[in-house]
A and B are shown apart, each in its own frame.
Chain A
Amino acid sequence: MATATYPPPPPYYRLYRDYLQNPKSAPEPPPPIEGTYICFGGNYTTDDVIPNLEEQGVRQLYPKGPNIDFKKELRSLNRELQLHILELADVLVERPSQYARRVEEISLIFKNIHHLLNSLRPHQARATLIHILELQIQRRKQAVEDIKRRREEAQKLLKESLATLDGH
């Protein structure tokens, strides 16, 4: 039974022979990649952005614009979803052969809802960052107060001990 060995390490290690003595004699690590790159035959991009619905070939049901009222749109999409489910039940009773269009519309609504929820994630990330910064500021202020208090206590103790020694 033939087994494949692991591939050998890349041969660059020889360039780092004198690294301990002279860190500059060896090449610098490669700079971070920007833009698009190919990895194992697949194209990846470093610019993380949620693709628009149109780019995925899905019709966008909620209005476009700079600021979307997420709560209102989510609620109206929910109502549309319920109506479409009822319509599907109706169609199945009356004209069963026309179910395909209704099922397609229901899946369109689901895709829109999921896209809206995904576009809430950057907002959530920024809110988390704000929360973390606030916590950090609070902790640092607390530490400053603690250090001030301890220094004052130490000063007081020194003065008292000085008074004790002088009065001795």
Chain B
Amino acid sequence: MDIISQLQDQVNTVAALAFNTFGALQRDAPPVRLSPNYPEPPPNPTDDAAEAPNTSEQPKLLGAGLVKAAKQFDALVAALPLSDGGEEAQLKRIAELQAENDAVGQELQRQLEAAEKELKQVQELFGQATDNCLNLKKPD
């Protein structure tokens, strides 16, 4: 895949990771105490037993994934083969290459015509030679 499509893909990946990160954190966050007047929210035993190892590690892992994706984007940007010529330099180069292409094309055409002429000559001579051979052949 070309580099620009890879860059576009990487941006979309970063976006997906970002909203997945926030979605997961929001969904899995333990309840928070809003004010000293209200009692402490009751800890849900089944949740904690199943997710205790995950909830503490999750933000770190998700954050690390985001940062890794961003670093990959930077690496891809560094790999862009951008010459600083700009549009005019590219158009000038295209014009030069077109002129050279035309010249080489004409040279090719000339060589081709000369070769075809020589081929025709050789074929004619060959035909004459074989005719002579056949005519000179004495029947026994």
| A53 on the B face (CB < 8 A) | no
Query: If A67-B86, A71-B80, A133-B101 touch, does A154 touch B122 (CB 8 Å cutoff)?
Result: yes
Evaluate contact between A158 and B104: CB separation under 8 angstroms: no
Evaluate contact between A140 and B80: CB separation under 8 angstroms: no
Q: CB-nearest residue of chain B relative to A134?
A: B97
Minimum Cβ distance to chain B for residue A135 (Å) = 10
Number of A residues near B (Cβ < 8 Å) is 41
Residues of B contacting A143 with CB < 8 Å? 108
Minimum Cβ distance to chain B for residue A108 (Å) = 13
| A120 on the B face (CB < 8 A) | yes
Instruction: Produce 1/0 per residue, A125-143, CB < 8 A to B.
Output: 0110110011011001101
**How long is the Cα–Cα vector from A122 to B107 in the complex, in angstroms?**
32
Minimum Cβ distance to chain B for residue A106 (Å) = 7
Q: CB-nearest residue of chain A relative to B90?
A: A126
Q: Which residues of B contact A (CB under 8 A)?
A: 2, 4, 7-8, 11, 14-15, 18, 22, 25-26, 66-67, 70, 73-74, 77-78, 80-82, 84, 86-87, 90-91, 93-94, 97-98, 100-101, 104-105, 107-108, 111-112, 114-115, 118, 122
